[in-house]
Structure 1
Amino acid sequence: MEKKKVAVFIAEIYAPMIKEIQYGLIQCAKRSNIKLYFYTSFNDDFTTREYTQFTEYDKGDFVAYMLPDYDEYDGIITFDSCLPSMYLDKVNDIKKKAKCPTVSLGEEYDFSYTITTDQTQSFINLIDHLYDVHGCREMVHIAGRTSETFTQIRIDAFKAGLEKHNLPYDDSRVIYGSLWKDCGEPVVQQLLEKYKTVEGRILPDAIICANDFTAIGVIDALKARGYKVPGDVIVTGYDNVEEAQFGSPTITTLCQTFEQIGKECLKILKKVWEGIPTEKVFYEPGDLLTRQSCGCEPINFFNQSNIREKYARNLEGMGYLAKSNTALILSTSESESQEDIFNQIESICLRDTGFKSAVFCLMDDWDKQVVITSQEELHNKNFSVICGMYNDKKITRGPLPKGQYIPDEMKDDISPFYFFPIHHLKYFMGYIIVIPELENVYQQNLKSWLVNIGTILDNFRIRQILKQTVLTLENLYNKDTLTGLYNRRGYELNFKRYYKDCIESDSCLAVFVLDMDNLKYVNDNYGHEEGDYCLRTIGDAMIEAAQNDEICIRSGGDEFVILAKNYNDKKAEQLCTTIKESIKNKCINDKKPFIVSVSIGCHLQVPPKVTEDGMNTMLEAFLKKADALMYVEKKEHKKENKS
C-alpha cells in the first residue's frame, strides 16, 4: 500500500487513557506505511469549568485544527470523547466537508465511521457481577453532566442492567454529578437524604459512578462521614484511571481497551481505502476490573512496589519539567530582541520536556494580536521557522512557502508529528511541531510549558510596545514639534553624556549657538507661516550638516544649539559654512522673497573635570560663551545690512 497521510484531532495527550489510544495508532501506523499528524488542543472541560474567565483561550487554541489542508489527507481521526465539548460542532463541520473518510472515537454520527465502547454491555456485566457475586439489590447511578452524550447512554445501560435482574428502576435512582471529584460531597448528601425515608437503610448496596473521578470523590465524602467502602457500601467507577488503580481502596471499574481502539481506527480506514465494506459503527467491548471497592480484593492488600515506582517516576518527571519551565521563563525575561528570545527557546526546548525534536513556526505578523476566524484566513498567512531542534541539530531558520507548514528537512520523516498551537488567549501566533517521547509526555506540566511559550512571546510584544511608548514620550518631552530637533531639555541630557565622553578621550567639547537674523521682519511682512518655514529650514540645514554625531537643538524661539564632541577649529568652521550654504540654497530653490541667515558662535575646549553637582554650572558656562560669540557675529551682520 502506498504511503497514506492521516490527520488526528486530539486533546489532553498527557492523559493515560488518551496516551494508550495514541500507542495503538502509532504501532498500527508503523506497520501499515501510514504517516500520522496529530493536531492538538490543551483546552478541556475541566479547565473550562474551573477557570471560566479564560474562555477566550479556546479561540486561539482551536486554530490548531485549522492548520491542515484536509484535501491533502487520506483520512481524519477525531478523539471526540476527549475534545472540549465547545469544539465538537466545529470539528464535525470539518468531518462533514472532508473528501476523505473520517473516524470518530466515542460519538456516533451518520457522516463518519465510529468506534465506541459497548457501554451497555459493559454496565450489564458490572451489574451482573454486583448482583451475582456481592448480592446487591439496591443500586443507584451517579451520572455525568447532561451535556455529555454518553451520560444518557450510561443511564440507559444502568436501567437495562437492573431490568435484566427484575430490579426496580425510576428516575430517583439517578443523581447527576460533574464527572469530577468535587461532586462527591453533594452526591453523598443527596443519597443520605434519599435513604432517610427508606426503612432499615442508610445507603444503597452499590453506588455505580459514571467515571472513576466521581467514584473517588464519593468515596472521600463517605470516608469523611465515617462510612466504609466496601463495608457499608460498594462504589464502582469507569475508565481505570491511575488514581483508581492506586488509591485506598482501589476502585472496581470498567476499562475501555484504549490501545486496541487506536488500532481499530486505522483498520477501518484501511478497509475503506481498499474498498472493503465495513460497518459504520464499531463497538469495542470493555473489561471489568474487580478490586477493593467492591470487596473482590482484600482491603489490606497493596502493590506498594508498583505504587512507589509509578509515583516516583511521575514526581521525577514533574521536577525536571518544572525546572525546564523555570529556565524557560527566566532565560527569556530580559531578552531585548526577537532573536534572543528565539535562541533561548531553542536552547531549552529539548531539556526535560519529553521532546525528541521541537520546531517553532510563527506567522510573520505574530505580534499584531491576530484573531483567526477561518481556515481561509489562516492559509493566507505567511509563516517562518524561527527556531528549534530537529534530530539533535538546530533547525534551518527562514520563511516557509505559503501553504507549507513543515520545513523541507522534515518532510521525509516517518515519525508521527504533533502540532501544538502557539497563542495567547484568542490571539494566534503560530505552532510547534513536536516529535515526542510519548512515554515521557504524561505530565500535565507539559501544558504549562507550551502555554508559557505564548505568554513569553506576548510579554515580549508588550515590553516592545512599552519601550516604544517610552521613547515616544521622551521624544514628546525632549523634542521640538516644529523642527523635530531636541528642545532645551535635550541639551541638558546630552551635554552630560558628551562631557563624559570628552573627559575619557581628552578631546574638545563644542557648543554652537545659532540665532536667526530678522525673524521678526519675516513674521511682520510675510506672516508666521513663512516665519515657521525659516525655522524649519534652519533645523533641516543643521541636521544635514551634522555628520559626526552632532546633536541639534532648538533651545527656544529663533535660537538653536549644536552639541558636538571630539571637535577642533577646522571641523567647527566647516560645520558653520555648511549650515549657512544649505540655508541659502534652500531659499533660492524655493524662490523666497526674503533672505534667511543665521549668526553662529562656537565655544570649544577640553572640559575641566567637575563633580556631578558642578555639571549644571558647566553646561551653562559653555552655552554663555558660545552665546557671546554668536552676538559678536550678529553685530557684524547688522553692520553689513546697514551698509
Structure 2
Amino acid sequence: MIGNIKIIAVCMCKVYDERNYRIIRALNNFAAENDYRLFVYHTCSDLYWKTLSEKGEQSVFDLIDYNITDAVVTFEEGVYAEDVMTKIRMDAAEYGKPVISVGVEHDYCISIKFDYAKGFEQVVRHVIEQHGVRDIGFIAGRKDEENSEERIAVFRKLLEEYDIPFRNDVFYYGDYWSAPTLKAVDDMIEGNKVPRAIICANDMMAIAAGAEFQRRGYKIPEDIIITGFDGSEEANFCTPMLTTSGCSYDDTAKTIINVISKALAGEKPEKIYTVDYDLSVENSCGCKPSVEQINTGEYIRILRDRMNRYQDEERVLYELAVNIMNCETPKTLATLLKEYNFGDVAVVVNGDFFDERKAPGVISDREPLFSDKMILLRSRAVEDRNIPQPFDRTNIIPDIENIMDYKVPLIFSALAHIGVPLGYACFYFPVQLSEYFKIPLYVNSLNTALGSSEASPIRSI
C-alpha cells in the first residue's frame, strides 16, 4: 500500500497485445473506482527463446516490492516461462499476499479460468442449429496444444451429438496464424472439397481463410460460412463481419477486483472462478449483421497514422542512441533524454551505472539484480528538479504518489544490455492502444542507447 492506495502487481508479457491491452484497460477502470492502482511488470517478448535479451527482460519481475504490494495477478497465457511465473506466485505467497492466476489453474492460488469450451460450443452449435449445416470443415490451432485440442474435442462431440460425419479431408491445423491457414484453403479449393462451412479455432485464421476464399471467387456466407473464436477487434472489420465468441473484459476485471477485495477483507474466496464467453453473431454465418456499422476507412486511417508515427519515432530514437554515445557526463545524458518527447515515461538506472570501475558484465551476478540506490535520468513528473536524481529503490520512482493520481497503470519494463539489468523504465501513458504500441520501441531503443554508453562509461556523478 502507498498512502491509502492499495497496489495490485500485474505480471504479463506484451501489454500492447490487443487482448492484454483490453483487459488492462478494463481492470484499471474497476481498480481506480476501488482505490487500487495497477503496477504492471511487463516483458516485450513472450520469453520463448531463452535468449540473453529475454533474460534481461524477465529481470523486471525482481522489481516487485511485496512490502507495498497488496495482491498479485499473473496472466500466464502466452508467457513461455513457467518457472518465472511459479517463482512470482511462490514469493507472493511467502509474503502472505493473495495471488490470482488468470487463464491457468493452479492448486495453491486463486484461479480465474475462461470457459473456452462452452464459448466455442456456442459457435459450432449456432452453425448447426440455426443454419442447418451438416457439411463442416475445421481449422484447429497447434497440434497437441491444450486449448486447440479442447476445441477439437468440442467440435467432435457436437458432430456426434447431431449425427454429422467428421470429414477428415477438411480437417487442418492452422497453428493460429495465416500461412498454414492459406495452405488449408488452397488444398480445399484445389482438391474440389470445399465444405458448406468452416469452423476456425481463432479469429486470425478465420479472417485469413475468409479473405482467401473471397479472393478465389467464393462469396461469404452464400457459398461458404466462416466463423472464428476470440472476439478480437479485427473481427469487426471483416467484410462481412465475423461471427465469433469472446470473453467479457469487464466481467473478467470485475471478477479479479471482487476476488482481491474479498481476500483483503479477510473472507475466503473460492479456489476457481469461471468467466463465460459470449456469442457474437454477425453476417459471416448468414445472420443479419449487427446494427452498429464499422467505419473501415477510419480504422485504416488510424492504422496508417500509427505506422507513420512509429516510423518517425524510430528515426528520432536512432538519433537519440547515437547522441547518447557522445554524452560525457550524467548531466548531459539526462538533459539529452529530457529533450526527446518520450511522453509520460520515467527512465531509471542502477546506482553504479556511471561508475567507471564497473566494466560491462562485471555486475551480471549482482544480488539483487537492481541497486538499492537508483538514479532517475528522466521523468516528466519531476522535470523541474535537478536530474540525474539519486533515490532509494523502495520509492520506486520519485513523486510516485503524484503519478498515481493520474489513475493510469504504471507499466514497468527492465532496461538491460546482453542480459545484464541496467535499470528500468516506468510508463504511465494514457490508457490508449496507440500509446502502448510505443513501449517495445522505447524499451529496445533505450536498451541499445544505454547499453552502448555503459560499454564506454560516462564519467561519474
Which residue of the partner structure matches residue 61 of structure 2? 65
- 1:381 deviation in Å? 5.8
Q: Structure 1 residues 343, 266: closer, same or farther in 2, change over 3 A? A: same
Question: Structure 1 regions of 5+ residues with no counterpart?
Answer: 469-643
- Match runs of 1:25-174 below 5 Å: 25-44=27-46, 55-81=51-77, 83-85=78-80, 87-99=81-93, 100-146=97-143, 148-169=145-166, 174=171
Query: Per-residue deviation at 1:145?
Result: 2.2
SS at match of 1:91: helix
Q: Distance in 1 between matches of 2:363 and 2:454?
A: 18
Q: Contact 2:120 / 2:229 at 8 angstroms: preserved in 1?
A: no
Deviations 1:162-219 (A, max 9, x none): 34433345877752222122222222245458xx5xxxx7222222212111112222
Q: Counterpart of 1:449 in structure 2: which amino acid?
A: Y
Structure 2 CA distance for partners of 1:237 and 1:386, relative to 1, 3 Å: same
* Aligned mate of 1:319, from 305, 308, 315: 308
- Matched AA of 2:278: D
Change (3 A) 1:112 1:139: farther
Q: Structure 1 residues 446 and 453 mapped into 2: Cα distance closer, same or farther (>3 Å)?
A: same
Q: Which residue of 1 aligns with 2:400?
A: 410
Amino acid at match of 1:410: I
Q: Tell me, what secondary structure is at the counterpart of 2:28?
A: helix
Matched residue, 2:431: 438
My pick for the range that moved more, 143-152 or 111-120, is 143-152
Shift of 1:321: 4.1
Q: Measure, in 2, the Cα distance between the counterparts of 1:182 and 1:236.
A: 18
Counterparts in 2 of 1:426 and 1:297: CA distance versus 1, 3 Å: farther
Do the aligned partners of 1:371 and 1:427 also contact (CA within 8 Å) in 2? no
Q: For residues 104 and 359 of structure 1, do their structure 2 counterparts lie closer, same or farther at Cα, with a shift above 3 Å needed?
A: same
Secondary structure of residue in 2 paired with 1:10: strand
Q: How far 1:111 moved relative to its partner?
A: 2.0
Q: Does the CA contact (< 8 Å) of 1:332 and 1:344 recur in 2? A: no
**Secondary structure of 1:267's partner?**
helix
Q: Deviations over 1:419-443 (max 9, x none)?
A: 1221245232111112111125456
- Equivalent pairs, count: 444
1:271 aligns to 2:274 (yes or no): no
CA-CA distance at 1:38 after TM superposition: 0.7
Native 8 Å contact 1:143 1:177 kept in 2: yes
Amino acid at match of 1:348: Y
Structure 2, unpaired ranges of 5+: none
Which residue is 1:358 aligned to? 345
Indicate how the Cα distance of structure 1 residues 424 and 180 shifts in structure 2: closer, same or farther if over 3 A, else same: farther
What's the counterpart of residue 337 of structure 2? 345
Which residue of the partner structure matches residue 587 of structure 1? Answer: none
Call closer, same or farther: CA 1:174–1:373 in 2, change over 3 Å.
Answer: farther
Is the 1:104–1:112 Cα contact (8 Å) retained in structure 2? yes
* Aligned partner of 1:238 among 229, 251, 257: 229
Alpha carbons 2:56, 2:418 under 8 Å: kept: yes
Is 1:9 the counterpart of 2:34? The answer is: no
Q: Give the deviation of 1:11 after TM superposition.
A: 2.2
Tell me how far apart the structure 2 counterparts of residues 440 and 460 of structure 1 sit (CA, whole Å): 31
| Shift in CA distance, 375/62, structure 1 to aligned 2, threshold 3 Å | farther
Question: Any residues of structure 2 matched to 1:144-223 within 5 Å, and which?
Answer: 144-146=141-143, 148-169=145-166, 174-191=171-188, 202-223=193-214
Deviation digits for residues 552-599 of structure 1 (CA, Å, limit 9, x no counterpart): xxxxxxxxxxxxxxxxxxxxxxxxxxxxxxxxxxxxxxxxxxxxxxxx
TM-score, with length taken from structure 1: 0.62
Counterpart for residue 26 of structure 2? 24
Tell me if the contact between 2:138 and 2:200 (Cα under 8 Å) persists in the aligned partners.
yes
How far off is 1:331 after superposition?
4.0
TM-score (norm 2): 0.85
The reply to whether residue 260 of structure 1 matches residue 251 of structure 2 is: yes
Alpha-carbon distance between aligned partners in 2 of 1:408 and 1:255, rounded to the nearest angstrom: 40
Change (3 A) 1:323 1:266: same
Structure 1 pair 96–389 and aligned structure 2 pair: CA distance change class (3 A): same
Q: Is residue 429–residue 435 contact of structure 2 (8 Å, CA) maintained in 1?
A: no
Q: What is the Cα deviation at residue 298 of structure 1?
A: 6.6
Deviation for aligned residue 1:370 = 4.2
CA distance in 2, matches of 1:324, 1:35: 29
Change (3 A) 1:207 1:101: same
Q: State the one-letter code of the partner of 1:90.
A: V
Per the TM alignment, residue 30 of structure 1 is displaced from its structure 2 partner at its CA by 1.4
Aligned Cα RMSD in Å? 3.3
Pick from 271, 280, 283: which aligns with 1:280?
271
Q: Secondary structure at the match of 1:157?
A: helix
Q: For residues 146 and 381 of structure 1, what CA distance do their matches in structure 2 show?
A: 46
Query: In the alignment, is residue 454 of structure 1 matched against residue 431 of structure 2?
Result: no
152-161 or 264-273: which moved more? 152-161
Cα 1:89–1:156 change in 2 (3 A) is farther
Q: Which has the higher contact order (CA 8 A, sep 6+)?
A: 2
Contact 2:345–2:380 (8 Å) recurs in 1: yes
Task: Give the secondary-structure state (helix, strand or coil) at the position aligned to 1:160.
Answer: helix
More divergent stretch after superposition (233-242 vs 121-130): 233-242
Verify the 8 A CA contact 1:107 1:149 in the aligned structure 2.
no
Task: Please state how far the C-alpha of 1:417 moved relative to its aligned partner.
Answer: 1.5
> Does the 8 Å CA contact 2:181/2:205 hold for their aligned counterparts?
yes
For residues 220 and 33 of structure 2, the distance between their equivalents in structure 1, rounded to whole angstroms, comes to 45
Query: Does the 8 Å contact 2:230/2:247 carry over to 1?
Result: yes
Q: Please give the alpha-carbon distance, in whole angstroms, between the structure 1 residues aligned to 2:399 and 2:435.
A: 28
* Cα distance change on mapping 1:181 and 1:381 into 2, 3 Å: farther
Deviations 1:135-170 (A, max 9, x none): 111323322224643223322332333344333458
Is the alpha carbon distance of 1:69 and 1:28 closer, same or farther for their aligned partners in structure 2, counting shifts above 3 Å?
same
CA drift of 1:230 comes to 2.4
CA contact (8 A) 2:350 2:371 kept: no
Measured at CA, do residues 117 and 408 of structure 1 come closer, stay the same or move farther in structure 2, by a change above 3 Å?
A: same
* Structure 1 residues 158 and 108: CA distance shift in structure 2, 3 A: farther
Q: Deviations over 1:371-428 (max 9, x none)?
A: 9888943155642212221166457532232x52513422464333111221245232
Q: 1:446-525 to 2 correspondence within 5 Å?
A: 446-462=439-455, 464=456
Partners of 2:170 and 2:386 lie apart in 1 by 59
Partner of 1:179, secondary structure, is coil
Shift of 1:261: 0.9
The separation in 2 between residues aligned to 1:371 and 1:141, in whole angstroms, is 54
Among 281, 294, 297, the alignment partner of 2:285 is: 294
Whole-angstrom distance in 1 between the partners of 2:205 and 2:232: 11
- Percent identity of paired positions between Structure 1 and Structure 2: 24
Cα distance change of structure 1 residues 192 and 280 upon mapping to structure 2, 3 Å threshold: farther
Q: Distance in 2 between matches of 1:279 and 1:191?
A: 47
CA 1:101/1:298 → structure 2, altered by over 3 Å: closer, same or farther? closer
